[in-house]
Amino acid sequence: VHPKAQFSFEAHPGNTTDEHLLALYNVGFRRISIGVQDFNPLVLVAINRHQTYEQVNHLTKKAREIGYTSVNYDIVYGLPF
C-alpha cells in the first residue's frame, strides 16, 4: 500500500459500534461515510432502515472524538413521503 494512501469506509448507523470505529482507525482509516439515507422516521420505516437520530449523532461524535478527519452523511433524495 502506498504510504500516502487514504482509507475510508461506509458505516450503517444502526450497527456500527464504537469498537468498529476504533479498530478501523487503528489500521489507518481516517474518513467515514455514514449511510443516513433520511432523517424522517416514516421514510426510514418505508425503506426498512432501522436507526435513530441518536445513533447517527453518537456515531458522528464518536468518530470525531477518535480522530476521523472526515465525517460524511449519505442522504438519498426522492425517497417516499
Q: What is the total residue count of the chain? A: 81
* pLDDT at 57 (0 to 100): 98
CATH architecture of 7-75: 3-Layer(aba) Sandwich (3.40)
Q: Which three cell numbers stand for residue 7?
A: 482509507
Following CA atoms 16, 22, 28, 31 in sequence, which dihedral angle do they give, to the nearest 10 degrees?
A: 50
* pLDDT at 81 (0 to 100): 76
Residue 77's φ and ψ, nearest 5 degrees, are -90, 140
* pLDDT at 10 (0 to 100): 98
* pLDDT at 1 (0 to 100): 86
Average pLDDT over residues 5-34: 98
* pLDDT at 20 (0 to 100): 99
Instruction: Please tell me the pTM assigned to this model.
Output: 0.90
Give tens-digit pLDDT for 38-81: 999 999 999 999 999 999 999 999 999 999 999 999 999 998 87
**Domain regions of the chain by residue span:** 7-75
Average pLDDT over residues 10-26: 98
Could you write out the three-class secondary structure of 15-72? CCCHHHHHHHHHCCEEEEEEEEECCCHHHHHHCCCCCCHHHHHHHHHHHHHHCCCEEE
